[in-house]
Structure 1
Amino acid sequence: MKGDAIDPKGLIQESYRIEGISLEECRSIFMDWALALPVDADTSSNIGLLLDRYASGRADHPMTQVLTEGLAERTTARRRGGWRGRRQSS
């Protein structure tokens, strides 16, 4: 199955078609989707577009939950670590 620029392999679309899909399966599909995106893709915008496209009227679908969590995770700033994170301020 071929998708488009937002869902290159059609993974997200297909997940909404699977009856009885679990949250864990949706998380795995989401990871596969994220890995298929180009490095320079705007992931947050793509997740928002996927929610607009597929989640309407499907608030209880596990993929809707995964996409919503993915959007929240991308907008939350986190400390990235590395030597700058461990370096003491003078």
Structure 2
Amino acid sequence: MTGDTVDPKGLIAEAYRIEGITPAECRSIFLDWALSVPTGVDARALVAVLLSRHGAPGHPMTTVLRDGLDEAGAPRRRGGRGGRRR
């Protein structure tokens, strides 16, 4: 633990230090980070902070963070009758 409230495990910061990291590895790291965001916390705001800190142009993690910022939406319910209808 790093004591950082935005990246408590230091996952994102470490991804930027790994030479030759692939986009797939960055997506996996981002997923691990996203799953650790506490319920009720605005993950999009945290991603924006991470981009401002680390957003190195051309780095695959920057691309993943931007995608996460663009694609993050409100969760939608998929269960029940409505989830079974096509």
Specify the TM-score bucket, using the shorter chain as the normaliser.
Answer: 0.7 to 0.9
Match of 2:7 in 1: 7
Work out the CA distance in 1 between the residues paired with 2:48 and 2:66.
8
Q: Does 1:23 align with 2:37?
A: no
Match of 1:67 in 2: 65
Work out the CA distance in 1 between the residues paired with 2:13 and 2:38.
18
Consecutive unaligned residues in structure 2, runs of 5 or more: none
Radius of gyration: which is bigger?
Answer: 1
Match of 2:38 in 1: 38
CA contact (8 A) 1:79 1:85 kept: no
Work out the CA distance in 2 between the residues paired with 1:63 and 1:54.
9
Consecutive unaligned residues in structure 1, runs of 5 or more: none
User: Under a length normalisation based on structure 2, what TM-score does the superposition of the two structures give?
Assistant: 0.83
Work out the CA distance in 1 between the residues paired with 2:48 and 2:81.
32
Structure 1 runs of 4+ off > 3 angstroms?
77-86
Q: 1:39 to 1:80 in 2, by over 3 A?
A: same
Work out the CA distance in 2 between the residues paired with 1:32 and 1:82.
24
User: Under a length normalisation based on structure 1, what TM-score does the superposition of the two structures give?
Assistant: 0.80
Tell me the matched-pair count: 85
User: Considering only aligned residues, what root-mean-square deviation do their CA atoms show, in Å?
Assistant: 2.3
Work out the CA distance in 2 between the residues paired with 1:84 and 1:53.
43
- State the shift of 1:81 in Å: 4.3
